[in-house]
Amino acid sequence: MAVLLGTGRCFALGAVLASALLSGPALALAPEHETRRLMLATEGAVVAENWGEAAEYLNRLQQLEGEKPADYFFYRGRVMLQSSHLNEAQSALETYVSRAGAEGAHYQESLQLITSIEKTRKQNALAPQATGESEQVAVIEPAGEGRIESLRKLYLAGSDREALTLHINSLLELAGWRRDQAVVRLDRPADVEYRLVTQGEEIQIQELKRAEDARILRSTETMSVFGINPRVEWRCEATVSTCWVYDPRDGSRLLQLAENRERAQEIAETLGQLIRSLQAPSGS
């Protein structure tokens, strides 16, 4: 099975066209019907290899309330892989496999794609050794400004802050913490979940907690980015199967995440870049 990776120029052009085509008004459907409609549109775009359209539909799905169907994670994995975001692609595909199981329509293909990602990682890791640079660490994701530009193309975003907000929420969607670590059931909602919203020079951190008696507790904390260090610390604790992202204002625990070191690091780095973006005078 071939994994097709389009050129950046073609992908960017597709993103612009998709944004123009999909910017029209939509009917006010109930969330469950809108989810179904966008899932059908996403499936059609992926089958036709219209990756810009698929990314647009997935971004709109991400904004909707409620649980996403298992296929959502399969298609997000495909789009992430198409744009060479290997960490996110693998996380999304693994989530699909866990939720859909062996009976899922894309089960076999997902396993093959995960294997393909692992092979790509190994090739990237060996590449520096072949050129006599064995001390360097392979860089899978684009770094710095190039990375943000890549995210803007992926999410069809008009600004750095929009791209980073969409990206961190995509990561948080897969990073929910679960109380029962003995048997992780990814077909059930996580016990602790987060979503970030930006407004002016502030980040609103929305937390959803599911209590043991099934009550849902929602809270929102506002973080002003003025004067704070955009370097965000993180750490994973295997003994409690938890990763923490720490508050850059005072070093206290800010986000409680499932134990996944790569994902926790990516969330912390993206949060730091979002803070830096909001601090920029240009308001990019």
pLDDT tens, residue by residue, 41-96? 999 999 999 998 999 999 899 888 778 899 999 999 999 999 888 888 888 998 89
Give which of 71, 76, 104 is closest to 89, Cα–Cα: 76
Say whether 210 sits in a helix, a strand or coil. strand
Angstrom distance (rounded) from CA 84 to CA 66: 28
Angstrom distance (rounded) from CA 122 to CA 100: 27
Residue in the structure block whose two tokens are 């004067």: 227
| 141 Cβ contact partners less than 8 Å away, ≥ 6 residues apart | 85, 86, 87, 147, 266
| 180 Cβ contact partners less than 8 Å away, ≥ 6 residues apart | none
DSSP element (H, E) containing 194: strand 192-199
Q: What is the pLDDT of residue 220?
A: 96
Return the sign of the alpha-carbon dihedral for residues 46, 50, 54, 55.
positive
Average pLDDT, the chain: 81
pLDDT in tens, 17-33: 344 444 444 457 888 89
Provide the whole-model pTM: 0.69
- Within the chain, which residue ranges are assigned CATH 1.25.40? 33-123
Q: What is the pLDDT of residue 99?
A: 86
Amino acid code (one letter) for 238 = A
* Section 155-172 average pLDDT: 92
CB 53 within 8 A of CB 18: yes
* Section 88-111 average pLDDT: 91
> In CATH, what class is 33-123?
mainly alpha
Q: Which residues of 181-214 are buried (b: 16+ CB within 10 A; e: fewer)?
A: eeeeebeeebbbbbbbebeeeebebebbbbeeee
